[in-house]
Amino acid sequence: IVETISAKAKAGVLVRLLLDALGGRAMRKLEPLLAGSGVKLAYFFPRVSRFNYRNHRKIAVIDGRIGYCGGYNIGEEYLGRGPLGYWRDCAVRVQGPGVEQLQIRFMQDWAFASREQATNPSPYLQAVPQNSSAMLQQISSGPDTSQEWVKQSYIKMITMAKESCYIQTPYFIPDASVIDALRIAAASGVDVRVMIPCKPDHMFVFWASQSFCADLLEAGVRSFKYNNGFLHAKTFIVDGKVGSVGSANIDPRSFHLNFETNVIIFDEAIGGQMKEAFLRDVAVSTELTPQDYAKRGWVVRFKEPFCRLFYPIT
């Protein structure tokens, strides 16, 4: 990837690479190669005093005509070479007028991180015809926003569900408002399902997530643990008609501390595809039932409340 973007920059393409200073620290050694090729590189919040506020967004925009948004990072873990094996993730490719929302989001972040004077965005916003009936809404939130827009969008999607609400997230640490919304939806007869990984990448989050899933079993919320690798996707599917794909997990960090971006898609065809993908993942997952959960050993019984208590400081 580094070779490809370097070649594009040498060919005269304007390439901007915005990295989170913590998550992208391994790229420091490649700075001479990138800079020498003409790639413009900026780091988000490199100062230690801003260590806790991370840019977790994953956005790519090509020529103002094609955009990508989802949970995918750029790393070797997606080649299946890491200890977790295959990574199951999700992103959406956007073409049409919706790309403009992602372009503006990126340009705002770039201007902040690079300290470059904000430029007229018009040259980067292409007049692209709408070739689909699908409607799209970009949702962003972070420490700089007055409202927790991502969390509010999740709660709205849960409460609007009439038939089903399917959720995938690697980190499931919901607050009281999300828990209440899930319980009310399940009590109303909505088929509510939450899928988390079977393999942990962060031990504290893993055991805390399982604990929260177990709490919701009595309310009728079904929980599944994905077995076919590591689940990194962050998706919501409501009634097979509305879907959300993006970077935000269901945890306090995504809701309060990280800069996140999701894309909500209003379209039955795409929503149906997302629902089918979720059900395929269910087929390679293990359901967490009250009976199985009651059989867990004393070590797990200790880990869950311990990790749940100390997760906020990890």
User: Of these residues, 232, 241, 275, 303, which one is catalytic?
Assistant: 232
Q: Which of 20, 89, 239, 281 is catalytic?
A: 239
Within the chain, strands assigned E span 16-20, 40-44, 59-62, 66-70, 87-88, 91-95, 135-141, 164-168, 191-197, 222-226, 230-231, 235-238, 242-246, 260-266, 285-288
> From the candidates 151, 225, 234, 241, which is the catalytic residue?
234
Catalytic residue among 10, 63, 162, 292: 63
**Active-site option among 20, 58, 89, 151:** 58
**Any catalytic annotation for residue 56?**
yes
Taking a C-beta distance cutoff of 8 angstroms, is the pair 190, 162 a contact? yes
> Does residue 292 have an active-site annotation?
no
One of 20, 56, 225, 241 is an active-site residue; which one? 56
- 175 flagged as catalytic: no
Kindly state the helix (H) or strand (E) to which residue 314 belongs, with its residue range: none
Q: Among positive and negative, which fits the CA dihedral 189, 210, 177, 90?
A: negative
For residue 310, give the 3-state DSSP assignment.
helix
Q: Is 63 a catalytic residue?
A: yes
Q: Are 165 and 158 in contact (CB under 8 A)?
A: yes
Alpha carbons 234 and 247: distance in angstroms, whole number: 6
The question of whether 232 is a catalytic residue gets the answer yes
Output b/e per residue, 276-292; b: 16+ Cβ within 10 A. Answer: ebbeebbeebeebeeee
Q: How many CA atoms within 13 Å lie on the side-chain side of 179?
A: 17
**Residue 234 falls in the annotated catalytic set:** yes
- 208 to 17, 62, 204, 213: CA distances (angstroms): 34, 39, 6, 9
For the annotated catalytic residues, the residue numbers are 56, 58, 63, 232, 234, 239
